[in-house]
Structure 1
Amino acid sequence: MARDTKKKDKKKKTGTVAQIRQIFAFTYNDDKALPWYLAAAFLLPVLVALVGCLIFKVGWLSWTLTMLLGVMLGVLLATITLTRRSDRVGYRQMDGRPGAAGAILANISKAGFSFSQDPIWIDPKTKDAIWRGCGRTGVYLVGEGDYGRVMRAMGREEDKVKRITQGSAIPIYKVSVGHGDKQVPLEKLQKAILRKKAKLTAEELNQLKARLNTLQLRQSSLNMPKGMDPTKVHVSRRALRGK
């Protein structure tokens, strides 16, 4: 039993290290200044701890503990820096690619959110697409593509949702992803979804999800155009967790 536990722990550590290396390599390909930022993030708390020890002339035990704390904070700060810069690179590479919004939405799990990875509407020619989902805050229609075309299509989808939520006060939010005046950039999509206040109870949300699933079954199945596969879009681990 002890040997099995040690093997599992070793594999877990190896997997974590390999994952960090993979994230670093991915980010460094697009961000050559990454090593300098990581070095600065790690050394800053270590130097602060060192200077503090020299100024206050602490004993060897306090010196050791303070330096250990500085190293731990340095590792934490470097990890945060790597994650944030990796996110920036990931969003930059995803931006403008068909299915990018769906890849982000499908992995939002906070506040009971649920988005289908496949779009509920798509224009085969332009690849404009709409995803539908819901959470404790209401129903969301998220469009990707030309603002005018997407908003008209979302208006039609909104009417469908209103038919099954008739008589309730469930809000329906329409979000267009892009860089226009009335659009939300891809990197801010999660925040735009999560910042609303909860309006539904857990029971009401379950009923809403059931109605939306029924609506989805009624709608005709979509023919996904070639190249429109949200599962193939790269996204960093932090973004996949919806954080």
Structure 2
Amino acid sequence: MARDKSASPAAPKTKKVRWYHQLWEAFKMTRETDPAITWILLATFVGTLAVGVIAGVLLSSVVYFILLALPFALLATMFVLARRAEAAAYSRIEGQPGAALAALRTIRRGWTFVEEPVAIDPRSQDMVFRGVGRPGVVLVAEGTGNPARLLEAERKRTARVLPSVPVIVLQTGRHEGQVPLPKLPGKLRRLKPQLTKQEVAEVTKRLQALGGARLPVPKGVDPMRVRPDRKGMRGR
């Protein structure tokens, strides 16, 4: 019996997002909160290129140094765009419920975070998020009520289950003693390892029994999206 080809249409191909499309989207997003970004990028490109021109004039090889400075000017411009886009992305979510978890998700490796808050105050919407890595267990609180009280209660609860495991407590915010949201991922990356990989796995299993509160959180900040895709640059 002949197979009816019309009965099983081919699935539509997913359109690839080229690196220049990513740059344009990052630029538009950044411009919404940073109107001066156009002039900043232009000044970066022209300034870097001007250095090459000056060097070429001094060394009597203008064309060579312009060609040499051009890729550096492009790289410098993309670097500035990436940094400004990252700052803009954080400013868009700062103050929203779940912003701390969105920032923590930008840590690519070394840490595992529970997808929901492990503690929450229904009135003030203060929340505590938990992560596990080789430095130990990290508890990150956010909110404008009294997150320190909620954080301390969760620390004691965690310490009862894991008395010999380091528990690091952090609170996001702009006040003294708090960690600003953009600096939170870097803070965790600088913590020194205290556990082996096997111990981390065991700690993760034991913490699963503690559970957590369920609440939707915003999408994670991904500043890497503003950087060019290398496969796209090769035309794949």
Same fold (TM > 0.5): yes
Q: Structure 1: which amino acid aligns with 2:143?
A: G
Q: Which has the higher helix share?
A: 1
| Alignment match of 2:34 (pick from 31, 35, 47) | 31
- 1:56 and 2:51 aligned: no
**1:99 — aligned with what?**
98
> Matched residue of 2:89: which SS?
helix
Where do 4+ consecutive residues of structure 1 move more than 4 Å? none
What TM-score do the two structures reach when normalised by structure 1? 0.79
The offset of 1:233, in angstroms, is: 4.2
Structure 1's unaligned 5+ residue stretches are 1-7
Q: Is the 8 A contact 1:178 1:184 kept in 2?
A: yes
Question: Which residue of structure 1 lines up, in the alignment, with residue 25 of structure 2?
Answer: 22
Cα deviation 1:157-189 (Å, max 9, x = unaligned): 1122222223x2x21111111122221111211
Question: Structure 2 vs 1, CA of residues 234 and 173 (structure 1 numbering), >3 Å: closer, same or farther?
Answer: closer
Q: Percent identity?
A: 31
Task: Give the conservation status (yes or no) of the 8 Å contact 2:106–2:185.
Answer: no
Preserved CA contact (<8 Å) 1:114 1:133: yes
Residue deviations 1:183-237, cap 9 Å, x none? 1111211122222111112222122122222332xx6xx353xxxx21x346343
- Cα distance in 1 for residues equivalent to 2:99 and 2:224: 15
Structure of higher RCO (CA pairs closer than 8 Å, 6+ residues apart) = 2
> One-letter code of the match for 2:174?
H
Distance 2:181 2:79 in 1: 21
Q: Distance in 1 between matches of 2:183 and 2:107?
A: 13
Mapped to 2, the partners of 1:21 and 1:141 lie a distance apart of: 36
In the alignment, which residue of structure 2 is the partner of 1:204? 199
Q: Distance in 2 between matches of 1:164 and 1:83?
A: 41
Counterpart amino acid of 2:196?
A: T
Q: What residue in structure 2 maps to residue 78 of structure 1? A: 77
**Which residue number corresponds to residue 131 of structure 2?**
133
In structure 2, give the amino acid aligned to 1:79. Answer: M
C-alpha distance in 1, partners of 2:162/2:123?
Answer: 31
Measured in 2, the distance between the counterparts of 1:131 and 1:183 equals 15
TM-score by length of 2: 0.81
* Cα distance in structure 1, aligned partners of 2:201 and 2:66: 51
Q: How many residues align?
A: 213
* 1:191 match: 186
* SS in structure 2 of the partner of residue 196 of structure 1: coil
Alignment check: 8 A CA contact 1:141 1:173 kept: yes
Structure 1 Cα separation of the partners of residues 209 and 214 of structure 2: 19
Q: 1:153 aligns with which of 144, 150, 153?
A: 150
